[in-house]
Amino acid sequence: MTEIQLSDEDRAFIEAKLRSGVYKSAEDVVRAGLRLLDQDEEQLRQMIDAADAQVASGETIAFESADALADSIIERGMRQLNRRR
């Protein structure tokens, strides 16, 4: 078994999760974190694949400046947040 070193903050986080009663052991907390990391990485891979397909099909947007790009990103992010509420 691999041995890992945890920071005091990591240990405190695990202890808090154990006290909440949701997890039975530190291993359960770590497993849950690893599952989420795997899901996040899979979602990121899917997003990259979708973006690559858009570029390959010519679905791109030209921006006149970095500020215009930043404004577009912020606007799309705000729309996404508003949809979740």
- pLDDT tens readout for residues 34-65: 999 999 999 999 999 999 999 999 999 999 99
Domain of 47?
A: 8-84
Structure tokens belonging to residue 20: 């909440």
For residue 1, being part of any structural domain is answered with no
For residue 55, being part of any structural domain is answered with yes
d(CA 8, CA 14): 10
For residue 3, being part of any structural domain is answered with no
Nearest to residue 2, comparing CAs of 30, 41, 22, 24?
30
d(CA 65, CA 71): 10
Domain count, the chain: 1
Determine the pLDDT at residue 83.
87
For residue 45, being part of any structural domain is answered with yes
Task: Say if CB 29 and CB 14 are below 8 A apart.
Answer: yes
pLDDT band at residue 79, thresholds of 50, 70 and 90? very high
Task: Say if CB 63 and CB 69 are below 8 A apart.
Answer: yes
